[in-house]
């Protein structure tokens, strides 16, 4: 029955749905998913895959291949683990010999290249056993795309690649180990586009750049589906505010600008400078990025400036960071070096749901991304941007000009400032804190945006893409 229905042209399919047996069609669809990162990992990619797969399961029967040991999803799912062949002992030995430079040059496109062969063996077995209708790959890691492409070659199944970040995104990957690596990364992305039946990008900026490089027949494969948020994470009632005497600014997620402030000027010895020069030797730079602003330093300085002006608010305003992955010793040394221990608190990683509940209680939500001194446009929207917009809280976004700035520009309750503009940050914090201390905290209705950002809606775009590539494959097979 399944084979007969799948061979029908669209008009017959619509007729069957009209007769009320659409559930038969839905229940017969099978999808093989490659998602290297899944919970219990706490990365944004793992969380996004978890949310989307939970929605996919309502329409497709899923078989999921992952590189995450003991992976779990909120929805019951058929999860299959393939263990990487990563040579941990050899890598540790080379690191001890200070040969990180060699590893940068040789391990490409990422460390999950050692997962490709075991994933291929396991994936091919699963496809032969379960006979899915299509292959869907979440990236990153980029090596997962190689697995998807080879499985397509071996099985003839249509392939959809969903890129969380472009391999050539200048926000995420402003530097390549060499010009050759840059050339290979561009080639790999072009290869993925031409081998896939459809590709999905979360960034319009990056999509347009890659699309421009493609021959005309390939351009119809591109689809934009931004990241989003799960409304159920925001449905639990939160406790009413009990005090107007404190003002908490919250940042959720990791920061990567700590080491820019780790050493005092007098500690930057000639030997350390030579080592850094050696590590950066041969780098190909796509964009100049100032990672100092991807830290709490500038926001902390802005708070201190404000407290000097308003001594009555001393010890009442704090910036709290949840989701730090750097060593506690590094964090505390940086905060001490910058004299910010009185206004900045840093906490480790925590479950995604708990981070969201903290954000929902914030007096002000904070986003900061690395500055771009060369004035080039950025093409990345931080995942926390969408989650912040699912709340009614004011948002201070210290981001460079580019897609993130443009996307947030017309959103209610968002203040945009340059990443290192402490004066502008201080003024925003002052205005919002004054409202809170006067008993009238600022809140914003973002209902329309929240519907747009819901994974429940976003997944419909994915399902349309899957239906489209499957129907094209059926027609091509019937014609042949």
Condensed to tens digits (0 to 9), the pLDDT of residues 296-311 reads 999 999 999 999 999 9
Cis peptide leading into residue 141 (ω within 30°): yes
Which is nearest to 353 in space by CA: 447, 234, 255, 452?
234
Task: Tell the burial category of 170 from Cβ atoms under 10 Å away from its Cβ (0-12, 13-18, 19+).
Answer: buried
Q: How confident is the model at residue 364 (pLDDT cuts 50, 70, 90)?
A: very high
Three-state SS for 354? Answer: helix
Strand-pair partners of 312: none
Determine how many CB atoms are found less than 10 A away from the CB of residue 308: 10
Strand-pair partners of 318: 248
Query: What pLDDT is stored for residue 172 in this prediction?
Result: 84
Query: Residue 190 is inside which H or E element, if any?
Result: helix 179-195
User: What are the tokens at 460?
Assistant: 């419909």
Measuring CA to CA, how many Å separate 298 from each of 177, 385, 393, 403, 418? Answer: 29, 19, 21, 22, 11
Residue whose pair of structure tokens reads 């072009």 in the numeric block: 190
**Position 256 pLDDT exceeds 60:** yes
Give the rounded distance of the alpha carbon of 452 from its chain centre: 18
Query: What pLDDT is stored for residue 3 in this prediction?
Result: 38
Which is nearest to 185 in space by CA: 116, 104, 102, 108?
108
Q: CA 216, 221, 224: angle at the middle one, nearest 5?
A: 120
Question: Which range among 95-109, 286-300, 380-394 shows the weakest confidence by mean pLDDT?
Answer: 95-109
Query: What pLDDT is stored for residue 119 in this prediction?
Result: 98
Q: Where are the alpha helices (DSSP H) in 349-391?
A: 352-360, 383-389
User: What are the tokens at 353?
Assistant: 């749901």
Residue 76 CB contacts under 8 Å (≥ 6 apart), including other chains: none
Question: Which range among 63-67, 68-72, 91-95, 247-251 shows the weakest confidence by mean pLDDT?
Answer: 91-95
Three-state SS for 277? Answer: helix
Tens-digit pLDDT profile for residues 424-452? 999 999 999 999 999 999 999 999 899 88
E strand segments, 277-316: 284-285
What mean pLDDT comes out for the span 461-470? 94
């Amino acid at each position: 029955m399944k084979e007969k229905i799948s061979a029908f042209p669209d008009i017959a399919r619509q007729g069957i749905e009209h007769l009320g047996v659409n559930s038969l069609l839905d229940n017969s669809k099978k999808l093989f998913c490659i998602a290297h990162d899944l919970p219990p990992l706490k990365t944004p990619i793992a969380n996004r895959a978890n949310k989307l797969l939970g929605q996919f399961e309502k329409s497709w029967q899923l078989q999921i291949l992952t590189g995450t040991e003991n992976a779990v999803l909120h929805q019951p799912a058929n999860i299959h683990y393939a263990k990487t062949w990563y040579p941990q002992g050899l890598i540790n030995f080379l690191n001890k010999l200070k040969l990180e430079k060699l590893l940068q040059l040789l391990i490409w496109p990422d460390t999950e290249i050692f997962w490709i062969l075991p994933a291929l063996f396991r994936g091919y077995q699963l496809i032969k056993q379960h006979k899915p209708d299509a292959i869907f790959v979440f990236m990153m890691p980029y090596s997962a795309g190689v697995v998807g492409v080879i499985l397509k070659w071996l099985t003839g199944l249509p392939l959809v690649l969903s890129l969380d970040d472009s391999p050539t995104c200048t926000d995420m990957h402003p530097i390549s180990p060499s010009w050759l690596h840059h050339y290979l990364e561009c080639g790999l992305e072009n290869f993925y586009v031409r081998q896939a039946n459809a590709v999905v990008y979360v960034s319009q900026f990056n999509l347009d750049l890659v699309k421009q490089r493609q021959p005309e027949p390939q351009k119809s494969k591109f689809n934009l589906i931004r990241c989003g948020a799960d409304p159920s994470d925001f449905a639990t009632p939160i406790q009413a505010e009990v005090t107007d005497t404190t003002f908490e600014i919250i940042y959720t997620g990791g920061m990567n600008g700590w080491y820019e402030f780790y050493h005092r000027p007098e500690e930057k010895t000639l030997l350390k400078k030579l080592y850094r020069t050696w590590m950066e030797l041969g780098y190909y730079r796509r964009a100049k990025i100032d990672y100092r602003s991807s830290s709490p330093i500038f926001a902390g300085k802005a708070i201190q400036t404000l407290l000097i002006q308003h001594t009555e608010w001393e010890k009442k305003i704090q910036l709290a960071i949840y989701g730090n992955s750097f060593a506690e010793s590094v964090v505390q040394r940086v905060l001490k070096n910058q004299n910010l221990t009185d206004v900045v608190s840093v906490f480790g990683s925590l479950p995604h749901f708990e981070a969201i509940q903290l954000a929902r209680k914030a007096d002000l939500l904070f986003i900061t991304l690395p500055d771009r001194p060369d004035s080039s446009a950025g093409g990345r929207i931080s995942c926390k941007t969408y989650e912040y917009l699912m709340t009614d809280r004011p948002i201070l976004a210290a981001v460079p000009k580019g897609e993130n700035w443009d996307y947030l520009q017309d959103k209610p309750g968002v203040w945009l400032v340059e990443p290192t503009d402490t004066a502008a940050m201080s003024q925003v914090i002052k205005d919002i804190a004054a409202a809170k201390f006067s008993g009238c905290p600022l809140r914003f209705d973002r209902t329309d945006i929240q519907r747009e950002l819901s994974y429940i809606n976003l997944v419909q775009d994915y399902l349309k893409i899957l239906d489209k590539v499957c129907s094209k494959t059926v027609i091509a097979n019937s014609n042949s």
